[in-house]
Amino acid sequence: MTALRRLQTDILILGSGGAGLFAALHAHQAAPELSITVAVKGLLGKCGCTRMVQGGYNVALAEGDSVERHFMDTIEGGKWLADQDLAWTLVTTAVERIHELENELGCFFDRNPDGSVHQKAFAGQTFDRTVHKGDLTGIEIINRLSEQVWARGIGRLEEHRAVELIKTADGSALAGVLMIDMRDGGFVFVEAKAVLLGTGGGPTMYKFHTPSGDKSCDGMAMALRAGLALRDMEMVQFHPTGLLAGTGTRMTGTVLEEGLRGAGGHLLNGDRERFMLRYDPREERATRDIVSRGIYAEMRAGRTSPNGGVYIAMAHLGVDNVRRQFKGMVERCADCGFDLAGGLVEVVPTAHYMMGGVVFRPDCTTALTGLYAAGEDTGGVHGANRLGGNGVANSTVFGGIAGDSMAAWVQRNPVPRAPDEAAIRESIARHEAPFRQPPGDLEAVREALFDCMWQDVGVLRDAASLRRAQQRLAELDAGLSQIGVADADRAFNLTWHDWINLKSLIAVSQVIAAAALAREDSRGAHFREDFPQTDDLASSSYIVVRQEPGGLSLSREPVRFTRVAPGATILQPAPAKQAVE
């Protein structure tokens, strides 16, 4: 067997986005005597999706807003599929977390003239509650979090990718994580008393997608192999306005944030006419799922821009104003030859976020003892659709909770658990398999996966397309197993890591397709052309997927309306104004 390096830590955090870094800081604050290690595929502070956040952070701060109102927007936006206890934890703890970001960690968000925090409009919400730093909010948050992690001397395993959750021999608990040190290609087993799954989702299996190419749903794939349940996996959010700059640039698919439409931006089809009123009375400020379907309908009707999408127009809001408000996006568009402030920019719906993920509890525990989860690796917080601005709130809120929970648990359970050595050997053999096969064309597999998911499991779906996708995904998985990788040098062997990425993406794609076929109604981000109606909200259920020895197993669980039932609200009516005599 390949030589195996072994390390030990009390708390191991997989991922260095908002969830992972907040978990590290909270765990360190709660129990500074514990050893804490952050493992990340790239470099801490320089990779992941939180850094890419443009829009902002939803939180109820201003007069006239409330956590109850934020909660109702979240539940209604998620089409009553969310776990209401998780959603309530999100909106209430977000208030605490935004003050922590500013007052303890040093973030500086945009201000109103009176010094209060500026909050901008985001689609699908009844109040302007999105805190931001221009259109570069994620960079501000990650930079400050990274500084604090470095200052505290928290351990780092950079350029280490997690490949397997290793249980104890009896399968009763997690013992640690098997990794690949990408710098030399060697395997590393990290024994840990508590592990956070915070790798993020990243639906990069679609032709147009917003996350960076290193995002490959590794966390969900590992959880699936470990026997954990995933929920709401059919709910993949397409952001309506991904930059469409042609096929020759990776900039295609990157997001042009919600604030453009919130500020009053117009969507125009290829005939240069606004079209969203045909699909929703809120026009461009409808929720992301509705706007994406509206754009997709225009594309299918042939009313497209030169590259096959539609346009976003901002010039009517004032060129100088747009340049000031959206400096980062103006510069990004200019790099691709577009004038966002004064001209038209081509856009297309782009796979952005996965509402589904690992089933977890409000304290971030999972069904596997010793494993915690937070951020986009988890399901249940958002339901069928995520409001723009709730994503980074989700990561930071539950990341902090996970850090507190893990520290407390490790203090109560200080004894390490021995790993299943056979499972380590089996995983190493599986991940070395491509070195025993003749090299093949991975790019052809990737392009086939892109086309399959975009065409058949994309913005619009039906039974025929989903069954076609299931067959194609099975073929791609079998074909990938026959493709090898040259074994000349395993150090930074990107072809090997592409192979592993594709294995994870195909596995998670199969779950998405299976769940989408099972849900025979349309709700939020999931739209079935053969079942366009939404079933009775009061009898809502969510789909749970597990991997069994014979394949995927699907079941349904009823949504528990623990705080409010469909048709009701927790908002108090405004007091009637008394007449003045």
Which residues participate in catalysis according to the annotation?
A: 239, 261
CA distance 70 to 87: 9
H/E element, 87? helix 84-103
CA distance 168 to 49: 32
**383 Ramachandran zone, left/alpha/beta (phi>0; psi -120 to 50):** left
93-102 in b/e burial notation, b at 16+ Cβ within 10 A?
bbeebbebbe
CA atoms within 13 A on the CB side of 215: 28
DSSP 247-303: TT-TTTT-B--THHHHTT-EEE-TTS-B-GGGT-TTGGGS-HHHHHHHHHHHHHTT-
CA distance 511 to 508: 5
Q: Which of 126, 116, 121, 148 is nearest to 36 (CA)?
A: 148
Residue 5 token pair: 């390096």
**Dihedral sign computed on CA atoms, order 281, 285, 287, 291:** positive
Partners of 312 in the β-ladder:
267, 345
Question: Which residues, 6 or more positions from 11, have their beta carbon under 8 angstroms from its beta carbon?
Answer: 27, 34, 35, 36, 37, 192, 193, 194, 195, 196, 406, 407, 410
3-class secondary structure, 86: helix
| The one-letter amino acid at 498 | D
Q: Which of 518, 520, 510 is nearest to 547 (CA)?
A: 510
CA distance 245 to 338: 9
CA distance 85 to 90: 9
For the chain, the residue count is 581
Q: Which of 552, 453, 560 is nearest to 229 (CA)?
A: 552
Question: Which residues, 6 or more positions from 184, have their beta carbon under 8 angstroms from its beta carbon?
Answer: 490, 491
